[in-house]
């Protein structure tokens, strides 16, 4: 199949099989074929999201050495990147949420390390929910949860979660891929929207692996999927592998958009960049506090972008930022019943 046929299939909103996604990923990133696929992905993103893009505001509720020891993460205990640890006071969490809302973020996201106290997460969610607008989606990025816990998160005021089966899950950390998958099911069964991503992509990942993970994310009917490259944080054990270029990441962002069902509106990339938006990314995150890709405690003073910067990047690419609450979440496909089953990513079998 050539690129014209791939684009023709996309125009017809047809499903892509693994070999076709591998083909999309196999073109040299600087080729006209890759550029054509990026343009088509941007067209699809604009079509499904009414020509609007989104910025979500994410802040960390804690900084702590994490025993799950994901090799790529600056919080991993064995990477020994940070010397200090802290938990954000509830009043600061509310202040950050209100700040993001005032700056025009379309959703607010709290991020924790895996062992953050679950009761405290619920308490802070209730606090934030009491203060932000009822229509502003509140999203969690936290550790694995049971169905009971997922329902408690929903009751506490969360509308959705970011959760992913990461590339190399179970191989380069201490988390069973099955557990990540079960958590996604639990969230969806509890009525929480799930956004996900193909991440963290490194130079060593093959097109086969990426295509399988793209198809896995499609199989969960997410509020958004997308792609994010791995940032080589100094002193982390994967830093020596290096990084893929923004152009290669944009190519993966495009392939992911084309392979998602059209009911999935969102297509994320991280970190925010013009090439990602050109290739169909319509979700960026602004960040405050610690993050797993940075060795500075306040990422807003280093790698992290604020809402204004994200807006500027979108402007450079001719994208218009949505005003008001996220539609990626509020108009996302209803969570599917776990009984429908999901694809099993290859990493789930290691
Ligand atoms: S990515 Fe999450 S689970 Fe893994 S070490 Fe970092 S904080 Fe822990």
SS (H, E, C) the chain: CCHHHHHHHHHCCCCCCHHHHHHHHHCCCCCHHHHHHHHHHHHHHHHHCCCEEEEEEEEECEECCECCCCCCCCCEHHHCCCCCCEECCHHHHHHHHHHHHHHCCCEEEEECCCCCCHHHHHHHHHHHHHHCCCCCCEEEECCCCCHHHHHHHHHHCCCEEECCCCCCCCCCCCCCHHHHHHHHHHHHHCCCEEECCEEEECCCCCHHHHHHHHHHHHHCCCCEEEEEECCCCCCCCCHHHCCCCHHHHHHHHHHHHHHCCCCCCEEEEECCCHHHHHCCCCEEEEEECCCCCCCCCCHHHCCCCCHHHHHHHHHHCCCEECCCCCHHHHCCCCCCCHHHCCCCCHHHHC
The predicted pLDDT at position 348 comes to 42
β-sheet bridge partners, residue 60: 111
Q: How far does the centroid of ligand 1 lie from the alpha carbon of residue 83, in Å?
A: 16
**Helices 207-219 and 246-259, axial angle in degrees (round to 10):** 40
The predicted pLDDT at position 1 comes to 72
Q: Which two tokens stand for residue 278?
A: 């050109």
- Mean pLDDT, all residues of the chain: 93
Q: How far does the centroid of ligand 1 lie from the alpha carbon of residue 93, in Å?
A: 20
Q: How far does the centroid of ligand 1 lie from the alpha carbon of residue 25, in Å?
A: 28
Domain boundaries, the chain: 15-334
Q: Does domain 15-334 have CATH number 3.20.20.70?
A: yes
Q: Which two tokens stand for residue 168?
A: 């190399």
Q: How far does the centroid of ligand 1 lie from the alpha carbon of residue 62, in Å?
A: 12
The predicted pLDDT at position 235 comes to 81
Q: How far apart are the first and last CA of the chain?
A: 32
Which residues, other chains included, contact 19 with Cβ-Cβ below 8 Å and sequence gap of 6+? none
- C-alpha 246/C-alpha 338 separation (Å) is 35
Q: How far does the centroid of ligand 1 lie from the alpha carbon of residue 299, in Å?
A: 16
Ligand 1 neighbourhood includes 264 CB (under 6 angstroms): no
The predicted pLDDT at position 347 comes to 47
Q: How far does the centroid of ligand 1 lie from the alpha carbon of residue 199, in Å?
A: 13
- In testing the pocket of ligand 1, which one of 66, 143, 162 has its CB within 8 Å of the most ligand atoms? 66
- C-alpha 160/C-alpha 97 separation (Å) is 15
Q: Which residues of the chain have pLDDT under 70?
A: 331-350
Q: Which two tokens stand for residue 201?
A: 């992509």
Ligand 1 neighbourhood includes 63 CB (under 6 angstroms): no
pLDDT in tens, 152-197: 999 999 999 999 999 999 999 999 999 999 999 999 999 999 999 9
Which of ligand 1's atoms lies nearest the C-alpha of 74?
A: 6
pLDDT in tens, 296-317: 999 999 999 999 999 999 999 9
The predicted pLDDT at position 332 comes to 60
Ligand 1 neighbourhood includes 78 CB (under 6 angstroms): no
> Ligand 1 atom 7: the closest Cα is on which residue?
113
Q: 186 vs 83, 113, 189, CA distance in Å? A: 34, 19, 5
Placement of tokens 């993966």 in the chain: 252
């Amino acid at each position: 199949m050539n690129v014209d046929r791939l684009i023709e299939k996309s125009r017809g909103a047809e499903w892509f099989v693994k070999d076709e996604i591998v083909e999309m990923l196999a073109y040299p990133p600087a080729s006209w074929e890759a550029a054509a696929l990026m343009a088509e992905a941007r067209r699809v993103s604009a079509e499904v999201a009414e020509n609007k893009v989104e910025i979500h505001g994410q802040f960390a509720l804690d900084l702590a050495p994490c025993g799950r020891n994901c090799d790529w993460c600056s919080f991993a205990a064995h990477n020994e990147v940070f010397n200090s640890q802290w938990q954000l006071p509830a009043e600061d969490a509310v202040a950050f949420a209100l700040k993001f809302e005032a700056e025009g973020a379309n959703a607010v996201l709290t991020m924790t390390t895996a062992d953050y106290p679950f009761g405290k997460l619920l308490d802070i969610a209730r606090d934030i929910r009491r203060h932000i607008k009822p229509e502003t989606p509140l999203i969690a990025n936290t550790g694995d949860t049971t169905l009971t816990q997922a329902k408690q998160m929903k009751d506490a005021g969360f509308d959705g979660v970011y959760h992913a089966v990461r590339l190399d899950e179970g191989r380069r950390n201490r988390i069973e891929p099955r557990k990540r998958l079960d958590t996604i099911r639990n969230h969806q069964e509890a009525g929480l929207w799930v956004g996900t991503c193909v991440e963290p992509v490194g130079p060593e990942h093959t097109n086969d692996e990426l295509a399988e993970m793209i198809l896995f994310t499609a199989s969960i009917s997410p509020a958004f999927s997308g792609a994010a490259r791995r940032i080589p944080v100094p002193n982390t054990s994967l830093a020596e592998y290096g990084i893929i270029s923004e152009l290669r990441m944009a190519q993966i962002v495009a392939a992911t958009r084309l392979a998602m069902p059209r009911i999935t509106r969102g297509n994320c990339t991280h970190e925010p960049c013009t090439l990602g938006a050109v290739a169909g990314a319509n979700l960026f995150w602004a960040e405050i506090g610690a993050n797993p890709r940075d060795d500075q405690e306040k990422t807003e003073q280093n790698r992290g972008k604020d809402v204004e910067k994200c807006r500027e990047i979108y402007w450079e690419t001719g994208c218009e930022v949505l005003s008001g609450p996220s539609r990626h979440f509020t108009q996302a496909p209803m969570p599917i019943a776990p009984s429908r089953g999901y694809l099993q990513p290859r990493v789930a079998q290691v």
